[in-house]
Amino acid sequence: MTGIILDEKGDFKLAGGVIALADADGQSIENLLKANRGEFKEAPLVGGEVQRMQNGTPSPLWCASVKKQIQSVGLPVKSVTMTVDLITVK
């Protein structure tokens, strides 16, 4: 999906004085994983809440839940897996 690209600080990335557009699937997935529930007013149940899991034990159903959330925003995803230090979305 083509969308507006953000830089590392979260600001619009500019290319030649205009807002950059490119494939934004990875960026959208990253934003969803970092978001807490309630941050997206139009979809209050969407949010991976990764920060809440950093110092605790994640739910065994987290991967399935996140997969459904990613699919609900229109991105095709086959699987979501999680290890101690890596989240993989295919």
| pLDDT (tens digit per residue) in 30-60 | 999 999 999 999 989 999 999 888 877 778 8
Write down the pTM of the prediction: 0.85
**Which are the contacts of 90, defined by CB distance < 8 A and separation ≥ 6?**
77, 78, 79, 80
**Average pLDDT for the chain:** 91
Domain residue spans in the chain?
2-89
